[in-house]
Amino acid sequence: MPLEIRNLTVVYNGKPAIHNITLTVREGVLTGMVGPNGAGKSTLLKAILGLVPRATGEVWLNGRPMDKPRGEIAYVPQRGSVEWDFPVNVLDVVLMGTYARLPIGRRPGRAEREWAMECLRQVELEELWRRQIGELSGGQQQRVFLARALAQDAPVYLLDEPLAGVDAATEGVIMEQLHRLRDRGRIVLMVHHDLQTVRDCFDEVALLNEHLIAVGRVDAVMTPENLQRTYGGKLVFLQDMD
């Protein structure tokens, strides 16, 4: 069952940050979302999560409206959203992915630790499990966040620019895991910053600039006209892309 976003509007300080977004994200399809800075990409993710108030609109999952997620959505925030000198190690952070499934007051046990180690293995960080998270490189930190989302084992994955500023090895690991999630029938929506790599990364793409400009197969959407409408005059060089 898809994730359906219906007429979603978010207002910041009297001005709409995203306006009347209707978008269906299907399982088994890797969906990207691009748009200029300030287009409301992160805001849309947060509105789906119910973390910012919605002025209008609804989010439906599995045929039911969803106000606040209760673990159905694994969210990978931007790396800058936490303090990396926090006194936790890599495994501690990945274990947080199991919290959504545990009842209140129950701590993760041996089974959860083994599962978290397995998720670390998938992002190729198992040898660093005891490292304090501040001692990791930016790419490794991003992989820790992905491993935490994998540990949550949710039907929906929302990722906020996981490839921003990471090394090539990390990019490879992240995309491989996202393809695996897609092939296992998960719903995957990822905010992306780099137009040049959209074709390599995604099956479908949504262009956002406060409004939803276009959504669909990458080839059908990434036309000069659509990009012009999304980015305005800032992007003339895109003519050369093909």
Partner 1 sequence: MIDWQSTLWVLLAGGLMATSCALIGCWLLLRRMALLGDAISHAVLPGIVLAFWLTGSRATLPMLLGAGVAGLLSTSIIQWLSQRRFVQSDAAIGITFTALFALGVLLISRYSGQVDLDLDCVLYGEIAYVPWDLWIIGDTVLGPRAIWTLSGVLLITILFTTGLYKELLVSTFDPVYAQAAGIPTRAMYHLLMAVVALVVVASFEVVGAILVLAFLVVPPATALLISRRLPMMILMSVVFGWLAVLLGYIAAHLLNVSITGSMATASGILFALTLLATGLRAGKGRPAISAQRIER
Give the footprint of partner 1 on this chain (CB under 8 A): 46, 49-51, 68-71, 73-75, 77, 81-83, 85-89, 92-93, 96-97, 99-100, 102, 104-108, 132, 148, 152, 158
Q: Minimum Å distance from CB 93 to partner 1?
A: 7
> Based on CB atoms, which residue is closest to partner 1, 135 or 167?
135
- What's the CA gap between 2 and 187, in Å, rounded? 7
Q: Which is nearer to partner 1, 115 or 231 (CB)?
A: 115
Q: Which of 226, 150, 219 is nearest to 188 (CA)?
A: 150
- Smaller CB distance to partner 1: residue 18 or 95? 95
Q: How far is the CB of 45 from partner 1 (least distance, A)?
A: 9
Q: Which is nearer to partner 1, 107 or 110 (CB)?
A: 107
- Least separation in angstroms between residue 87's CB and partner 1 is 5
| Smallest separation (angstroms) from partner 1 to the CB of 159 | 12
Q: How far is the CB of 75 from partner 1 (least distance, A)?
A: 4
Name the token pair of 9: 């509007």
Least distance in angstroms from the C-beta of 107 to partner 1:
5
Specify which residues 210 forms β-bridges with: none
- The nearer residue to partner 1, 60 or 226, going by C-beta atoms, is 60
H, E, C per residue of 48-89: HCCCCCCCEEEEEECCEECCCCCCCEEEECCHHHCCCCCCCE
User: What is the residue type of 1?
Assistant: M
* Exposure class string for 196-216: b at 16+ Cβ within 10 A, else e: eebeebbebbbbbbbbbbbbe
Contact criterion met (CB below 8 Å) for 5 and 23: yes
Amino acid identity of 169?
A
Q: Which is nearer to partner 1, 46 or 230 (CB)?
A: 46
